Structure 1
Amino acid sequence: MENILDYFKRNKMIVLVGLVVIALGTGYYLTQRHQTATVKNDLKTETKVSAAKKEDKVAKAPKSKVVVVDIQGAVKTPGVYRLQAGAIVQDALKMAGGLIPNADVKQLNQAKKLTDQMQIYVPVVGEKSAGSSASGSNGSGGDKKVVNINTATVDDFKNVSGVGPKKAEKIIAFREKNGEFKQLHDLTKVSGIGEKSLDSLKDQLTV
C-alpha cells in the first residue's frame, strides 16, 4: 500500500493526465452516443412524416370520373348506364348486354368516345340511322338524306354529295377530338372544308 502511495506522490502529473484523458474519453463517448441517438430519432420522425404525406396524397387523389349514357334500340338490355370516363361506344354496348341479332352495326361508330349524358341509339337492319333522316327530295325526285354531323359514321357520309371517305374521316376525327359541332358553320374548322364547300353541303347536313 505504501509503495502505491509513494508511486502516486512521485508521479502526480502522470496520474492527473491519465485521469483527464479518461474523463475526456468518457465525455466524448457519451456525446457521440447521444448524437447518434438523436440522428436515429430524427430519421424515424422524417420517415413517419413522409409516410403520412404519402397517405394524405393517396387520400386526396381524385376519384375516377364516370359518364352516364342512355342506350336504346337494338340491344339486349336498354337503359341508363355509368361507365368510366374514356370508355367508348363498344364498352357501353357490352354493358347493355350486347346487340340483338338484327342490329345494324354498320351504322354504328363503336370506337367513338363516350361523353356524359350521351344517348346511343342502335338501329335494326333496314331502319334509318339516328344520324340521318329523310327530308325533301333531290333533283331526280328521290329521297335525300340529311346527315347529322355529330353522329354520322363514314358510311353515313357516303350519302352526302361532296364528302368522300377521307373528308368524312377528317370530320369524325375533328368531332372526336374537339367535341360535338354546335352549328354547321363549325365544319369550316375542319381541314379541307371552306365557305364554298359548306354552301354546297349545308342542305345535306344537320347538327
Structure 2
Amino acid sequence: MTKLNYDYEEPINNNAININHVSEDELLFLPGINRQLAKNIIEYRQSHDGFSQISELLQVNGIPSNLLRRIYADITIDSSSCSSLNNKKELINLNLASYDELCSVAGLTPNLVKRIIQRRERKGLFRSLRDLLKIKGIDYIILETIRPFVTVDDKKIRTSISYTSLNNLYSTLNRNDDNAKDTLLFISRLLQTLPNETQTLLLSSFPSHPSVIPNHTNKQNTFRFVSWNLQQLTNDKVQNPGVREVICRVILENNFSLIGIQEIGNKESLDSIVQELNNPTIPSIKNWPNRRHGKWKSITSDASIETLQTAEYLGFLYDESIGIEFKKASLLPFKTYFAQLPYITIFRIFNRLELVFVNIHLTTKKSNGDKSEEKKDEAKSLSVLAQAMKNKIEQKHVIIFGDFNSVPTASEFEALVKCNYSYVIQQNTNISLKEPQGSICIDNIWLSEEAKSLRNSGIIRDNLTNIWIPNGWALGGLVSDHCPIWMEFDLS
C-alpha cells in the first residue's frame, strides 16, 4: 500500500477501496464525500490517467487536507496501479530539460523557468532539488508543488512520487519563519509568489457553498445588511488571500449588499476587498457559481480613535448596482462622551427610503480605575447618542450597530430602550476554534421604532476559517473573533 505523507503511518485496512477502480456510487460510502466530490474525483482520475498516490487527492477540487485525513484509512492504491501509472508520468530532468519542457511543469512560470536555465548555465548542474531554493522567486511552497514532476537524476527510477502533505508544508513554513515579525504578512507575500494554478490548489479549501441564508423574498424590494468586527483589519492582514477569500465568500454566499465594519486598522484596507469583489483574483471567488457582477464601493471614516501607537477606523462596503446610494457620512463630534467616535452614514435604498446607519465600536473610557464611574460614562454616552438621533436627524429609520463590548441586557443600554430602540441579536457573537459556539453576545443591531417592522435577522458562525490564516504557530485560523451579524430589510 502507498503511504500517505502525514506525521503518522497509514493503518492497514483490508476493506479499503481502490480509488483507481472505485465507482462514483461507491465513493459516497466514504465519510464526508458527497455526490459532487465523488464526481470531481472520477473526473480527475479520468483526465490524469488515474492516481499515482493517495495524497494526489489534494489536487481534486473540493478535497482539503482535513477531509483527506478522514478518509485516508479507507482508501488505497494497489502496487500494480502505482507502477503502471508512474511509468506513464516521466519526470522532467531539471539539468536537461528545454525551456518549453520546464514551462509544462505546473507551478513554474516563464520567469522562473528563465532563472532556472540561467543558474544552470552559470553554476552547472543541480545536485538536488533543494538547490532551487537559491533561485529568486522559488520558495518552499513552489518547491513542494513541483517536486512530484521533476528530478535532477536521469538515472533514478522512482516507483512512487513523494508529495509533501500540506500539514508537513505548514511545519516547514513555521521552521523557516523564526525571524518573521508578522506571520500574516509573511504568508501573504509567500502566496503572492505562486502562479494561479498553484493558488487554485492551495486556496480551494472550501467548495462553493449554497447560500447560508435562504433568500425567498422579492429581490427588488429587499436587501441584506451585515455588521462585522474584522479585528484589526490592517493593510497587511487584508493582503492575505485567505482573509480576502473568507470575507468575499461570506458576502457572496449570503447575498449581502451593505456591510458595516469595525476595527479597520488602515484607512485604505477596504480597497482590497472592493477590488477582489469587482475584479476577483482568488480562484474560488473568480469562479463563484452564478456570481453577479456588482459595482462595489467603500467608504471609511477618519480615525474614530487615535493614539501614538495606532488608529482605528469604521467603514462600509456597499453594492451600488442593486440601488444602494451613499448620501453623506460623518463622525459624531462627541469626544466628551465617547472614547471612540460613532460613524453616522445615510444611504438611500432603491431610490425610495433613506436609512441612517450608526457604526459604533464602544470602548469604555478610563476613569482612574473606578469601574462604577466607567459604567456611568458608558451609559451617558448611549443616552447622548439616542437623543442626537431623535433631535438632530430628520430620517426616522435608524440602525445603531456594531461592537458594544457588553451584553444587550446590561443596564447601560436602558437609554436606548427608553428611546424605543430594541436589539435584534440574542445569540453569542464571539467565536474561537476552541469555543466555536461562542460565550457572549457583544455585537448587536439596535433598531429605532420605525425600523422595527423591517427586521429579519441572524448570525453566521460557519465557514469563517481559511487554511492560510494564521492560528498561533499553526494555520487554519479564523478571520476574526467576532461573527458577522445580519438583518434583511423588506421595503415593499
Whichever of the two has the greater Rg, that structure is 1
TM-score (norm 1): 0.32
